[in-house]
């Protein structure tokens, strides 16, 4: 498995019409916008993509939209296929292979949770085997799934069991574990980082790639941060990280998912509202948000 998710990977929104129905016709606009901002890889139908709020047909419709729009804009596409129904996950994995995507990822079932690491590995093996030609990433996000296992142990067990295991999408703030996974088995596995607010810390730990939602609208900020870090300007990199935290906190103040989608729409990518049960900002909240973000330099073209 030679796939490596290096650089910035935008975890994309699923576009909806104002009434909450699916809007796959917006995907080409998303793809063109992200490509124009220097993003080269997208991670679709994940947490940011509200995958748990999509029907099977809706997820497949988004797959097909990205299968056309991604390559047309020079974007590599990684599809999240996980969920609580294992057979659905296998179906999505096979569909991702049919679409010619770069790789697949799956988080753990989170209603009936695996009680032992061996069970989680079995879940991942079953999903990965439905698309044996595609690199498979386990999506570790314990803050959402409440599934918590040692990821170094996961790589040891899963690496021996899953032929197409590529690595872990590491949305877990345990930087010591992250660093250990990066160097495990002579760096055999790809471990993209998944917490935007701590990107600079992950770079210090050795990160080469990162998957995040704020890369949709603020990719130039993070590109500049990475460049500063690579140039040895740790102070500048830390300052930029602080700016990203302030931006994300402003969105959280109005409801992150709805606020981020409203910001994308304001930037010319009409991804619509967040779907219930997620909330959306009121007009007054949006007015306050735009005042806070007025003059933000990171919504233009890449630096």
Residue 2 belongs to a domain: no
State the catalytic residues: 139, 169
Kindly state the helix (H) or strand (E) to which residue 107 belongs, with its residue range: strand 103-107
Per-residue pLDDT of the chain (303 residues; tens, 9 = 90+): 567 999 999 999 999 999 999 999 999 999 999 999 999 999 999 999 999 999 999 999 999 999 999 999 999 999 999 999 999 999 999 999 999 999 999 999 999 999 999 999 999 999 999 999 999 999 999 999 999 999 999 999 999 999 999 999 999 999 999 999 999 999 999 999 999 999 999 999 999 999 999 999 999 999 999 999 999 999 999 999 999 999 999 999 999 999 999 999 999 999 999 999 999 999 999 999 999 999 899 987 654
Among the listed residues 113, 125, 192, the one whose alpha carbon sits nearest the alpha carbon of residue 157? 125
Give the integer Cα–Cα distance in Å for 212 and 227: 18
Cα–Cα–Cα angle for 19, 24, 29, rounded to 5 degrees: 105
Residue 231, in any domain of the structure = yes
Site of tokens 């770079």? 203
- Total domains present in the chain: 1
Q: Which residue has the tokens 């603020």?
A: 218
Question: Which residue is it, tokens 């990203």?
Answer: 244
Residue 239 lies inside a defined structural domain of this protein: yes
Whole-number Cα distances in Å, 303 to 54, 179, 246: 35, 29, 20
pLDDT at 151: 97
pLDDT in tens, 176-199: 999 999 999 999 999 999 999 999
Q: Which helix (H) or strand (E) holds 166?
A: strand 165-170
Q: Does any domain span residue 36?
A: yes
* Structural domain for 87, as ranges: 7-299
Element holding 78 (H helix, E strand):
strand 76-80
For residue 181, the domain's CATH number is 3.20.20.70
Q: Which residues share a beta bridge with 168?
A: 138
Query: Secondary structure of the chain: what % helix, strand, coil (to 5)?
Result: 50, 15, 35
Tell me if 1 is assigned to some domain.
no
């Amino acid at each position: 498995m030679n796939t490596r998710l290096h650089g910035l990977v935008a975890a994309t929104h699923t576009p909806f019409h104002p009434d909450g129905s699916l809007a796959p016709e917006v995907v080409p606009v998303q793809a063109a916008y992200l490509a124009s901002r220097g993003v080269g890889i997208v991670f679709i139908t994940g947490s940011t993509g509200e995958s748990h709020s999509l029907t099977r047909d809706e997820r497949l419709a988004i797959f097909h939209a990205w299968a056309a729009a991604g390559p047309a804009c020079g974007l590599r596409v990684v599809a999240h296929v996980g969920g609580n129904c294992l057979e659905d996950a296998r179906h999505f994995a096979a569909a991702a292979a049919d679409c010619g995507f770069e790789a697949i990822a799956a988080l753990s079932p989170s209603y009936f949770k695996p009680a032992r690491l061996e069970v989680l590995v079995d879940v991942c093996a079953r999903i990965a085997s439905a698309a044996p030609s595609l690199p498979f990433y386990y999506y570790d996000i314990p803050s959402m799934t409440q599934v918590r296992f040692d990821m170094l142990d996961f790589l040891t067990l899963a690496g021996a069991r899953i032929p197409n295991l590529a690595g872990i999408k590491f949305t877990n703030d345990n930087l010591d574990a992250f660093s250990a996974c990066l160097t495990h088995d002579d760096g055999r596995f790809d471990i993209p980082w998944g917490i935007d607010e701590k990107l600079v810390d992950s770079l210090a730990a050795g990160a080469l790639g990162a998957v995040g939602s704020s890369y949709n609208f603020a990719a130039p900020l993070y590109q500049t941060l990475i460049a500063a870090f690579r140039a040895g300007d740790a102070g500048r990199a830390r300052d930029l990280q602080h700016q990203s935290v302030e931006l994300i906190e402003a969105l959280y103040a109005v409801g992150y998912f709805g606020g981020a989608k409203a910001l994308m729409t304001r930037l010319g990518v009409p991804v619509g509202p967040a779907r219930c049960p997620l909330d959306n900002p009121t007009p007054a909240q949006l007015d306050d948000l735009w005042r806070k973000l007025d003059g933000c330099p990171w919504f233009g073209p890449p630096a």
